[in-house]
Amino acid sequence: MSTLGQEFTKGLFKENPTFRLILGMCPTLAITTSAFFGFGMGISVLAVLLGSNIVISAVRNLIPDKVRMPAYILIIAAFVSMTDMLLNAFVPELHKALGIFIPLIVVNCIIMGRAEAFARKNNVIRSILDALGMGVGVTMSLTLVGIIREIFGAGSIFGYNIMGTAFEPMGVLASPPGAFITLGILLGFFNYAFKRLGIE
């Protein structure tokens, strides 16, 4: 049984959902056109993951095994709907930019994956830490991809222009092909980095 601290930190690097588990690719590619959007989506996923992990872990002994998939979907969908409405109320520009990908958090493999692999077998405290670790890991990776695409695609970070007026932005990085290529190269780089650092 790993320590409580390890439950949290494994989601950051060793089992980072984006670069190690290769889950949740759709939002990673779609909304990382700017660092702010990447960060916003990461926080949304964190919120839903936290909520669903807590509830699923709390009621794990009450759900019959045959209906566990629809039950999980229902719980996750409820939290996604709440997050959707909260985002619409408090950060409407983020809500508009994330668009259809907020409801699609329901089918994000990270959330269902953690529910299936962890929350239904562990108590609430561990599930909270697991959700926090994975959520922060996702936020970090989404923000990283967002920062790279924003620097080269628009010359700014979080809206602050840092490249100056002489910089001609690489439009391709802000568009779909750029998303694929950036993520692919980053994935290859992290494969190498993790190997060198000795993380399995």
Partner 1 sequence: MYLLAMIFVAILSNNIVLSQFLGICPYLGTTKRIETSVGMGLAVIFVMVMSAIVTWVIDLFLLQPFSLEYLRTIVFILVIAGLVQFVEMVLKKTNPALFQALGIYLPLITTNCTILGVALLNVQSEHNIIETVVYSLATGIGFTLAMVIMAGIRERLELANMSNYLKGAAVTLVSAGILSLAFMGFKGMVTL
CB-neighbour burial class of residue 178 (10 A; exposed 0-12, middle 13-18, buried 19+): buried
Least Cβ distance, residue 187 to partner 1 (angstroms): 4
Per the structure block, which two tokens stand in for 105?
Answer: 């958090």
Site for partner 1, residues 73 to 92, rule: CB under 8 A: 73-74, 77-78, 80-81, 84-85
5 is a contact residue toward partner 1 (CB under 8 A): no
185 is a contact residue toward partner 1 (CB under 8 A): yes
Least Cβ distance, residue 86 to partner 1 (angstroms): 12
Give the interface segment with partner 1, choosing from 20-28, 35-43, 55-63, 149-157 (CB under 8 A): 20-28
Q: Measure the CA–CA gap between 183 and 178, rounded to whole angstroms.
A: 8
195 is a contact residue toward partner 1 (CB under 8 A): yes
96 is a contact residue toward partner 1 (CB under 8 A): no
Least Cβ distance, residue 57 to partner 1 (angstroms): 20
Least Cβ distance, residue 135 to partner 1 (angstroms): 19
Least Cβ distance, residue 109 to partner 1 (angstroms): 6
Judged by the rule CB under 8 A, the positions of this chain that interact with partner 1 are: 22-23, 25-26, 29-30, 69-70, 73-74, 77-78, 80-81, 84-85, 100, 103-104, 106-109, 112, 172, 175-181, 183-185, 187-189, 191-192, 195
